[in-house]
Amino acid sequence: MFAENTIYIVGNAKSQQNNPITHQFGQFFIGFVVERETGKIVICSSSATIHTTSDFICSLFSGRSLKDDVEVIRQLVESRYFGSSQKAIIVAFKDAQKKYNRILSGLPVDLSE
């Protein structure tokens, strides 16, 4: 289903205590399928409790790069997503970006994070 040049990275973040995501999953997660060389996000999914939310979040990331579009993605989330997980989305993205950079550098990735 996915090309051999892709990798899967999960970004984690804490969500607000009163957020249904916290009650259901404990944390907020975004899973990214990324082209290893370019950082281009092929597809993603999140631990949102509503399918539309997960689809919308994915639309903000798909086709953009973990490597090059950090500021663009942050601005998109802040200007288009107005759910209680806004900060968690940005933190989860930054966590995934950190893991991606470690992978590119050949450094170990802590999978327990």
CATH number for position 65 = 3.30.390
Q: At how many degrees (to 10) do helices 70-80 and 51-61 cross? A: 140
110 part of a folded domain: no
Q: Total domain count for the chain?
A: 1
Q: What is the pLDDT along the chain (113 residues), one digit of tens a residue?
A: 999 999 999 999 976 555 444 444 457 899 999 999 999 999 999 987 788 999 999 999 999 999 999 999 999 999 999 988 899 999 999 999 999 999 999 888 877 65
Domain coverage including residue 43: 6-104
The confidence score (pLDDT) of residue 80 equals 97
Contact 14, 23 (CB under 8 A): no
Encoded tokens for 103 = 């992978």
CA separation for the pair 8, 82 (Å, rounded) = 27
113 part of a folded domain: no
Tell me the whole-structure pTM to 2 decimals.
Answer: 0.85
70 part of a folded domain: yes
SS3 content of the chain, % helix, strand, coil (to 5): 40, 20, 35
The confidence score (pLDDT) of residue 56 equals 95
112 part of a folded domain: no
CA separation for the pair 96, 11 (Å, rounded) = 4
